[in-house]
Amino acid sequence: MGKIWVLHGPNLNLLGRREPDKYGTQTLDEINKELLHKAYTAGIPIQVEQTNFEGELIQWIHSMGPDDFLIINPGAWTHYSYAVRDAITSVQVPAIEVHLSNIHAREEFRKTSVIAPVCCGQISGLGGKSYSLALDYALEALTQK
């Protein structure tokens, strides 16, 4: 059975104090604790990481196995990182792109994702619940393999 990877991109370490009107008051630690608890309860291994360095994120993606599942919030890399996109396609694992805010209701540049086309889905605009819903899907996908 594979592992679920939850990868958080740049500036997400500031959740809870970073523009709470857009991103809410829930901290990244609070989101991660919920995800870890849910995965452990389901008996599925999970690894949760956050970085502000694109190369580090790509290295984690490269280390994924064929039975793994990726939940990714690429942050600002969503809109321009072909390197992250190529890393996801290179490892050929199912992936869901997650965003706390509704990227389609924000600035024009945020409405375009270069990552979404290589993912099986995108969940945005539901705050921390976006991650929880993505995890539900990943757990179901891994337990049906």
Q: What does the pLDDT look like over 26-51, one tens digit per residue?
A: 999 999 999 999 999 999 999 999 99
Q: b/e string for 111-145 if b means 16 or more Cβ within 10 A?
A: eebbbbebbeebbbebbbebbbbbbebbbeebeee
Residues marked active site are found at 23, 99
Residue 101 annotated as binding site: yes
Residue 94: pLDDT over 80: yes
Work out the percent of the chain whose per-residue pLDDT is above 90.
Answer: 80
Residue 79 annotated as binding site: yes
Residue 86 annotated as binding site: yes
- Res. 103 pLDDT band, cuts 50 70 90: confident
C-alpha 105/C-alpha 131 separation (Å) is 19
State the CATH number of the domain containing residue 139.
Answer: 3.40.50.9100
Residue 32 annotated as binding site: no
pLDDT score, position 141? 93
Residue 9: pLDDT over 90: yes
Residue 109: pLDDT over 80: no
Separation of CA 92 from chain center: 16
Of 39-43, 64-68, 85-89, 100-104, which gets the smallest average pLDDT? 100-104
**Residue of 69 and 20 predicted with greater confidence:** 69
pLDDT score, position 106? 77
C-alpha 50/C-alpha 14 separation (Å) is 11
Residue 68 annotated as binding site: no
Query: Could you tell me the residue range of the domain that residue 54 belongs to?
Result: 4-143
State how many domains the chain has.
1
pLDDT score, position 25? 83
Average pLDDT over residues 138-145: 89
Q: How confident is the prediction for the chain on average, in pLDDT?
A: 94
- Res. 53 pLDDT band, cuts 50 70 90: very high
